[in-house]
Amino acid sequence: MNSRRARILPHVGAAVGDTPLVALDRLASGLPGRVAIKLEYFSPGGSIKDRPALACLEEAEAAGILKRGQWVVEKTSGNMGAGLAWACAVKGYRFVAVMSAGNTPERRRMIEAFGGTVVLVPQARGGTDGQVSREDLELVEAETARQVQKRRAFLPDQFNNPACVRAHERGTGREIWEQTAGAVSHFCSFAGTAGTISGVGRALKRRNPRIRIVVVEPKQAQTLAGKRVVSTSHVVQGGGYAMTPAIYDPSVVDATWPVSDRVALRTMRDLAREEGIMAGISTGANVACALALAAKAPRGSVIVTVACDTGLKYLSLDTQHRRDRR
């Protein structure tokens, strides 16, 4: 008899989660703490947002508010759009992403490749290409409300839906605990909806309240730190919207850490060249924070962060290969 167990997944939705956790021993060489990064770009939709996307649909199905054949509409800076487009393709829903024109075209094209429709909202006056500000998001919000009404759609509402936090609490946070065998001492992450930081924070604090949770923000827009916003414009796509999202759970956050555009971009490039991990700009921000924590932490500390998405999504910005800004 063949004693080997078949390992064929029933559908690609089952491939979400259990992403690899990888040590950054070159970048963190000589530091007292060790840094490890969870590679969320291994997920089928290509980012950390597959987990909350799937959770929003599954919790809505279970509650009876999302039914077969219905439209799903979401406002998105891009990765949640790609995650939802992917999840809707897997589950057979029709999907519309309402998106600011300030996002990179890669995400737009991904949504369309998964069969979704993109409604592009022009940027607010004075907006910068490749950067999405709070003002841009407000315009996107108004168009989203119109689309939901027109299509009688289900709105996952990622900024307000606690399913996003639960996805990271049940998944990402638990996995980090298990993959480090409980040795994780710090977790840091850049916040958009704050689903990642709140969910992972809850999962880890429940298991060990001494684990330090640090939220990363753009230097010029440190809203969660309670500081005055100097500018809402920055290059770190996927978050830093100079607002406090409804699902943000400050009770599990110990500190905030500011990152400049320059440091986020430089660290993103170092990560690709020195560790072979080509990730996006928010990942550069995350790793910069993790390295700063590792430099100050007691010997033996284990600092964990996440690679939110792949650098492939930013190639049109030419941020990976330019050496002049180093």
Ligand X SMILES: Cc1ncc(COP(=O)(O)O)c(C=O)c1O
Residues of this chain that interact with ligand X (CB under 6 A) are 47-49, 77, 79-80, 190-196, 237-239, 280, 282, 308-309
Which runs of consecutive H residues, i.e. helices, occur in the chain?
Answer: 50-63, 79-91, 105-113, 134-151, 163-167, 174-179, 195-207, 261-275, 281-296
CA 300, 306, 311, 316: dihedral to nearest 10 degrees?
-130
Among the listed residues 38, 49, 205, 313, the single catalytic one is 49
Residue 182 or 255 having the CB closest to ligand X? 255
Among the listed residues 189, 282, 301, 313, the single catalytic one is 282
The answer for residues whose C-beta is within 8 angstroms of residue 264's C-beta and 6 or more apart is 235, 236, 281, 282, 284, 285, 288
100 tagged catalytic: no
Cα 294 to Cα 38, 51, 273, 283, 289: the distances in Å are 16, 28, 20, 16, 9
Residue 183 CA to residue 198 CA, distance in Å, equals: 20
Contact in structure between 154 and 72 (CB atoms under 8 Å) = yes
Q: How far is the CB of 218 from ligand X (least distance, A)?
A: 12
CA end-to-end span of the chain, whole Å? 60
Contact in structure between 284 and 311 (CB atoms under 8 Å) = no
DSSP structure string for 207-235? H-TTSEEEEEEETT--TTTTPPPS-S--S
Residue 44 or 239 having the CB closest to ligand X? 239
Q: How far is the CB of 252 from ligand X (least distance, A)?
A: 13
Which amino acid is located at 51 in the chain? R
Q: How far is the CB of 243 from ligand X (least distance, A)?
A: 12
Residue 184 or 247 having the CB closest to ligand X? 247
Which residue has the CB atom at the shortest distance from ligand X? 238
Q: How far is the CB of 156 from ligand X (least distance, A)?
A: 12
150 tagged catalytic: no
Residue 318 or 324 having the CB closest to ligand X? 318
Q: How far is the CB of 194 from ligand X (least distance, A)?
A: 5
DSSP 8-state assignment for residue 52: H
Residue 93 or 248 having the CB closest to ligand X? 248
Residues tagged active-site: 49, 282
